[in-house]
């Protein structure tokens, strides 16, 4: 599995995670520390900005796919583009893909929040009329590759399954390119042209996001392309006949796994949360630790986790939509101001968090070494390093079994 550039930098600088058999377990690095209180203050200031000044000057545009290409005649609900010229641009595009039967209009808050953080944001409509898992169960129940092939067809328009008919005009990558070209032509000063070159999308500048079916599409994009990041809301492709995730979920991703994040509701009425945990393991986001419930988390960094959950009630407008609660406008709860989403800190975290390649946690008499893909090495003297090729993250050990000093470092897998 490809290690991240951050992990490579750590290997070159010789940054080491260090555990002493005492109450203090910590990670030592060459990077300067960051004051947590400052981070919390920044988050509060951003929340205030989101609910007032930034949202007032955002440039928000709805436009039909057929306006970008007259050959598009189906799934022609509006795309939704947002940019905030009052915020320093990050040079990254947040692409959001709706769930089954939904449209970008149902998910305006997330792109608007992304724009308030300095991202360009685009909600893209695509062929999403039927749930992929339902189609596969009905038409190819014994094929463990059916869901993966179906998603690839929706993404690139190449015929792979008999029960879908998505061509090169209507596929995600074509619609995305046409949308970006349209935005750049129509609004040439707003920076949309930086996300494509000629007839090619510059995927490395994209944060691919989605809800439900759209989350699966985002995940497949991150599996098959080097994107900047993958953010999933309630994602799962469960193969009923095999009682496990579909094969594609366990494949090695081109986007490094330290840039993947998943947020789901524990009482989702459509997706079984226990099965979602299994799928999170298949996607390898669980290597950074078990899921953390955001409303009970003890820090704004959520313990560096990549799998987050909630058990909060949905908004009154869709009081039973636990599936939509984490992200759908009508279902996601708002703060007391009636404007700012309760999950804004979660959304910000998934878009901005920088994962350390190796960290150490201490709890209940154990230590856990949490590390990105690569080869874990250990040493008791910083001279002799022993590879631990069979180690999987998180590596948990009783603190009392460690020698007085123990160091860990991470190297790229050749």
Long-range CB contacts (< 8 A, 24+ apart) of 191-200? 191/83, 191/89, 191/120, 192/81, 192/83, 192/120, 194/91, 195/93, 195/120
Tell me, yes or no, whether 185 and 60 share the same domain. yes
Tell me, yes or no, whether 365 and 304 share the same domain. no
How far apart (Å, rounded) are the C-alpha atoms in residues 232 and 266? 15
Across the range 232-237, mean pLDDT stands at: 94
How far apart (Å, rounded) are the C-alpha atoms in residues 23 and 96? 44
| Beta-carbon count within 10 A of 371 CB | 28
Whether 41 and 73 have beta carbons less than 8 Å apart is answered as no
Any idea what the CATH number is for the domain that residue 234 is in?
3.40.50
The tally of domains found in the chain comes to: 2
How far apart (Å, rounded) are the C-alpha atoms in residues 346 and 352? 10
Whether 235 and 279 have beta carbons less than 8 Å apart is answered as yes
Alpha-carbon dihedral angle through residues 385, 387, 388, 389, given to the nearest 10 degrees = 170
Q: Comparing 4-8, 290-294, 308-312, 374-378, which segment has the lowest mean pLDDT? A: 4-8
Closest to 49 in 3D by CA, of 367, 337, 390: 337
Q: What is the pTM of this model?
A: 0.86
- More confident site: 258 or 26: 258
DSSP designation for 394: S
Tell me, yes or no, whether 44 and 187 share the same domain. yes
Tell me, yes or no, whether 159 and 211 share the same domain. yes
Q: Is the pLDDT of residue 10 over 90?
A: no
Whether 331 and 317 have beta carbons less than 8 Å apart is answered as yes
Tell me, yes or no, whether 20 and 51 share the same domain. no
Domain housing 377 = 5-28+358-411
Q: Comparing 46-60, 220-234, 362-376, which segment has the lowest mean pLDDT? A: 46-60
CA distances from 45 to 51, 118, 195, 339, 345 (A): 10, 14, 29, 15, 11
Q: Is the pLDDT of residue 29 over 80?
A: no
Tell me, yes or no, whether 140 and 277 share the same domain. yes
């Amino acid at each position: 599995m490809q290690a991240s550039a951050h992990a490579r930098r750590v290997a070159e600088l010789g940054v080491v995670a260090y555990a002493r058999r005492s109450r203090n377990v910590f990670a030592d690095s060459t990077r300067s520390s960051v004051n947590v209180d400052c981070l919390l203050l920044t988050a509060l200031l951003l929340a205030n900005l989101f609910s007032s000044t930034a949202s007032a000057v955002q440039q928000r545009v709805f436009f039909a796919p057929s306006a970008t290409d007259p050959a598009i005649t189906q799934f022609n609900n509006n795309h939704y583009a947002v940019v905030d010229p009052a915020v320093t641009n990050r040079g990254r595009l947040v692409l959001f893909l709706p769930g089954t039967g939904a449209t970008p209009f149902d998910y305006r808050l997330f792109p608007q929040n992304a724009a308030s953080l300095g991202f360009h944001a685009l909600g893209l409509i695509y062929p999403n009329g039927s749930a992929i898992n339902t189609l596969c169960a009905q038409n190819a129940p014994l094929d463990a590759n059916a869901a993966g092939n179906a998603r690839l067809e929706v993404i690139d328009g190449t015929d792979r399954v008999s029960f879908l008919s998505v061509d090169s005009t209507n596929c995600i990558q074509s619609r995305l390119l046409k949308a970006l070209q349209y935005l750049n032509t129509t609004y040439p000063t707003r920076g949309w042209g930086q996300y494509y070159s000629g007839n090619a999308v510059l995927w490395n500048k994209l944060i691919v996001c989605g809800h439900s079916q759209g989350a699966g599409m985002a995940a497949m994009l991150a599996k098959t392309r080097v994107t900047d990041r993958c953010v999933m809301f309630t994602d799962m492709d469960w193969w009923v006949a095999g009682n496990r995730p579909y094969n594609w979920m366990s494949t090695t991703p081109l986007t490094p796994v330290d840039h993947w994040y998943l947020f789901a509701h524990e009482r989702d009425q459509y997706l079984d949360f226990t099965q979602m945990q299994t799928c999170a393991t298949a996607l390898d986001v669980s290597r950074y630790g078990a899921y953390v419930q955001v409303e009970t988390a003890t820090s704004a960094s959520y313990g560096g986790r990549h799998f987050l959950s909630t058990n909060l009630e949905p908004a009154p407008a869709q009081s039973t939509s636990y599936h939509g609660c984490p992200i759908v406008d009508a279902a996601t709860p708002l703060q007391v101001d009636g404007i700012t989403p309760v999950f804004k800190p979660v959304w910000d975290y998934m878009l901005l968090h920088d994962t350390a390649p190796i960290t150490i946690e201490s709890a209940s008499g154990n230590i856990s070494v949490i590390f990105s893909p690569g080869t874990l090495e250990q040493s008791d003297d910083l001279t002799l390093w022993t590879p631990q090729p069979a180690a999987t993250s998180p590596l948990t050990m009783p603190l009392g079994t460690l020698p007085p000093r123990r160091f860990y470092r991470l190297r790229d897998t050749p």
